[in-house]
Amino acid sequence: MPHPDAADLVLTDVLFALSDPARLELACRLTEGPLEVAACHPVGGEIPKSTLSHHLKTLREAGVVRNEPYGRQRRVSLRRDDLESRFPGLLAAVLSPALVEASPPR
């Protein structure tokens, strides 16, 4: 699968990819580490497989995630270093508020 080079990342594409609540949630989950996605057991079982594929494709094409083969699965990881070098502070600004909103109240 093609992934844009770090130098080719476009801010508006990244922001668009993260503007959808489901894609933002996926990106937040990826801050904890890579996810393995099997064809028969998609991440977040409540999301239809076709919808998950669309979200992952949008994130990959924008340069937010890397999606690579991992045995019979795919490993999806956040391109934290590439995004930080191209747009310093962006992930902290966008994902931190989403992580705070997603955490249960104390």
CATH number, domain at 71? Answer: 1.10.10.10
Q: Is the pLDDT of residue 73 over 60?
A: yes
Domain count for the chain, please give it: 1
**pLDDT (mean) for 63-73:** 91
Q: Please state, rounded to an integer, the average pLDDT across all residues of the chain.
A: 85
Q: Is the pLDDT of residue 82 over 60?
A: yes
pTM of the model: 0.83
Q: Give the domain extent around 67.
A: 6-98
Residue 31 lies inside a defined structural domain of this protein: yes
Residue 94 lies inside a defined structural domain of this protein: yes
Quick: pLDDT tens for 24-54. Answer: 999 999 998 888 876 545 555 577 888 888 9
Q: Is the pLDDT of residue 102 over 90?
A: no
Using CA atoms, how far apart are residues 88 and 85, in angstroms rounded to an integer?
6
Residue 86 lies inside a defined structural domain of this protein: yes
Q: Are 7 and 86 in contact (CB under 8 A)?
A: yes
Residue 82 lies inside a defined structural domain of this protein: yes
Q: Please enumerate in sequence order all residues whose Cβ is within 8 A of that of 58, keeping only pairs 6 or more positions apart, or say none.
A: 16, 17, 20, 23
